[in-house]
Each structure stands twice: as C-alpha cells, then as structure tokens.
Amino acid sequence: MIHVKIKTDQNLKLNIPIPYAILQAGCSLLSSELVLRQLTKWTTQYSDNKSTASFMPLNSKLSKQMIKQTIRELRHHKGLVIVDVKMKDGTEVFVRL
C-alpha cells in the first residue's frame, strides 16, 4: 500500500492510503488503447506544432506489462520513501511504500 501524507500550514492533514490493487486497476485503465487513442487525438488537436507525432511511443500491451511488473516490484520495497518535500509555505508532502 502506498501512503500519501500532506500537511499544510492551515492545520490541514491528509492521509491517503492507496492499495496496490486500485493502483494497478487505475494504471490498466489509463494505459488502455481507448484512452491512449483519445489522448493522441486530443494532443494532435490542441498542439501548436501540428506534427504527426504519436502519443503512444510503445505498444499498449507492452506498456501494461511494464506497469504491472513495476507495481509488483514496488510491493517488495515496503517502507521506501519516494517523496519527502517541504515547501517554503509550510506544505509537506510525504509518499511512502
């Protein structure tokens, strides 16, 4: 499970636990061919360059496999701190596996 903790100066504290199953489902949805086709359509429609560059640098099946393998590997590194940031305005963001 990934733990995201956010603290602000206004005494606001957010603790957001993200289970790996939800993370994997969300990544599978975002890497689906339908979503990638729509993203490609939007980027070419609204880009200033109007080039024919595709948004999909890799095969979507290969991307899904890479994402699943990455999430599996994250499970083996419990307690690893990914992000620990303190901003000038007092906001703190902490992400831990």
Q: Average pLDDT, stretch 87-95?
A: 91
* Confidence at residue 93, expressed as pLDDT on a 0 to 100 scale: 94
CA distance 27 to 20: 10
Question: What is the domain extent for residue 38?
Answer: 2-96
Q: How many domains does the chain have?
A: 1
pLDDT above 70: percentage of residues in the chain: 82
What is the phi/psi pair of residue 75, to 5°?
Answer: -65, -25
